[in-house]
Amino acid sequence: MPDQAGDLSIRFWGTRGSIAAPGPDTVEFGGNTTCLEIIAGKRRVIVDGGTGLRALGQHIAKTSEGEQVDIYLTHFHWDHIAGIPFFGPAYMDRFDVNFYAGHLDEKRAVCKVLTDQMMAPLFPVPLKVFKGCAYHDFKAGERFDLDGGVGIRTCRLNHPNGACGYRIDYGGRSICVITDTEHVPGRTDEAIAELVEGADIMVYDAMFTDQEYPRFTGWGHSTWSEALRIADLAGVRTVVPFHHDPNHSDGFLRQEEAAAQAQRPGTVFAREGTVLTA
């Protein structure tokens, strides 16, 4: 059973975008790529399977006697799936692991993409060695009601090859995960604004600074200042800039965080290992 504090909470197992960036300059914010664990009452919901998923798998294997584990993928770029072949519970009988994705077209189902990821010569064992795993496709925009009073809502994001944003509701609280997505300056992404309306915590793609942003049109990412703008508009309580650029050092991110906090007190950049309660 999940063991985190609080009725609805999120733990960051990987905060980095693009590629893992371990080293002395990334100790504070973390070097692993995107992986988030959300505990909603008695349920565990994982968003993304970046390199952070390996340590989360070890944690689950050590602390749980067996359970259903749900992994919702934002999309399949490497930084969001590199940890999947190293997710211990997928190889263990006592866990039922479910993978979900909502942005693929019909020909490229979740199972097919994960099969390809572990196909020789890319990986030594095929996907079929996973035990008791199931693969689910849905269409971004759909919503699910899980047992235990957990609601999941989704929306399509603006990203090369597509991506899906998530909102997890439990006990009157909510956590949203909006990564990877590109905004059009001066124009509000209404699908995102609607999804995050009144959320307690919004984790948001802040790969680039405002200064960097114009050079990266079409890369599919956003900024912390856009996160703050959407949060103000949609009445979000706490903004958590996330999906840090591998070139952004701890010192640099601390400066950016201070600038964001000056504009919107309470904003906190995602740090690997941190737990936030909604």
| Binding flag, residue 79, Zn ion (CB under 5 A) | yes
For Zn ion, what does the binding mask look like between residues 21 and 40, x meaning CB under 5 A? Answer: --------------------
Closest CB 237 distance from Zn ion, rounded Å: 25
Nearer to Zn ion, 222 or 267 (CB): 222
| Binding flag, residue 77, Zn ion (CB under 5 A) | yes
Nearer to Zn ion, 180 or 256 (CB): 180
Stretch that binds Zn ion, among 75-83, 135-143, 145-153, 195-203 (CB under 5 A): 75-83
| Binding flag, residue 241, Zn ion (CB under 5 A) | no
Contacts of 2 (CB under 8 A, 6+ apart): 39, 42, 43, 44, 64
The answer to whether the beta carbons of residues 180 and 74 sit under 8 Å apart is yes
| Binding flag, residue 103, Zn ion (CB under 5 A) | no
Nearer to Zn ion, 14 or 89 (CB): 14
Coil/strand/helix, residue 7: coil
Residue 111: Cβ-neighbour burial (10 angstroms; 0-12, 13-18, 19+): middle
| Binding flag, residue 17, Zn ion (CB under 5 A) | yes
Which amino acid belongs to residue 196?
Answer: V
How far does Cα 71 stand from its chain's mean position? 10
Q: Show contacts with Zn ion in window 156-175 (CB under 5 A).
A: none
Closest CB 266 distance from Zn ion, rounded Å: 25
Q: Show contacts with Zn ion in window 178-197 (CB under 5 A).
A: 180
Torsion of CA 241, 247, 250, 255, to 10 degrees: -60
Size of the residue set binding Zn ion (CB under 5 A) = 4
Q: Mind spelling out the 3-state secondary structure of 219-234?
A: CCCCEHHHHHHHHHHH
Closest CB 145 distance from Zn ion, rounded Å: 28
Question: What sign does the dihedral 242-4-20-253 (CA atoms) show?
Answer: positive
List contacts with Zn ion (CB under 5 A). Answer: 17, 77, 79, 180
